[in-house]
Amino acid sequence: MEHGALVDQFDALEGVRAWLAEHGWDGDGEVEGVRERLLEARAALRDALEGRGSDRLNAVLDHGAWRPRMRGGEPYEEVVVDETAWWPGWVAAAGFVRMMGERAERVRKCANPQCVLWFLDVSKNGSRRWCSMEACGNRAKVGRFHQRNRSTGGPSA
Ligand SMILES: [Zn+2]
């Protein structure tokens, strides 16, 4: 949400680049291909989160695996994907599955009915309701949103 309107950061390649940079991806030159796969991974995650089954998610997950490794006596996991362009989308999908195994009850849809985002609640008491305070929480605090929330009955997923 930006100024009360839905914005898709993945619409423009610049948005994709910014998102990738935020998530530590420094690959370049193939952002178009990465974007395509990110969109597929995102659609697959939405299907899984919103009750449309996990076939699509599993199809995304087929493109990679975690490979256990050791370095200097320390275990770690390496991401192996069948195409480099799958890396960010696969990591997002695989991270989601891991998260569902660890704290599924903390994975929640933003309480703003106009917002499409889901988030992992890492707050101590587990009472977080918004994807972000800036985008959705503050609007709710203003009060206008509460009325709208009641009249639409909240998230319909
Ligand atoms: Zn939100």
Distances in whole angstroms, Cα of residue 95 to Cα of each of 82, 87, 89, 133: 17, 12, 10, 24
Ligand 1 centroid vs 114 CA: distance in angstroms?
A: 8
Q: Which residues contact residue 64 at a Cβ distance below 8 angstroms, ignoring those fewer than 6 apart?
A: 79, 80, 81, 82, 86, 87, 90, 91, 94
Q: Which two tokens stand for residue 16?
A: 């994709």
So what's the pLDDT on residue 25?
82
Ligand 1 centroid vs 139 CA: distance in angstroms?
A: 10
Ligand 1 centroid vs 21 CA: distance in angstroms?
A: 22
* DSSP 8-class letter at 104: G
pLDDT single digits (tens) 50-108: 999 999 999 999 999 999 999 999 999 999 999 999 999 999 999 999 999 999 999 99
The model's pTM is 0.82
pLDDT > 90 in the chain, percent: 74
Q: Is 145 a residue whose pLDDT tops 70?
A: no
Ligand 1 centroid vs 69 CA: distance in angstroms?
A: 38
Given pLDDT bands bounded at 50, 70 and 90, which one contains residue 133? Answer: confident
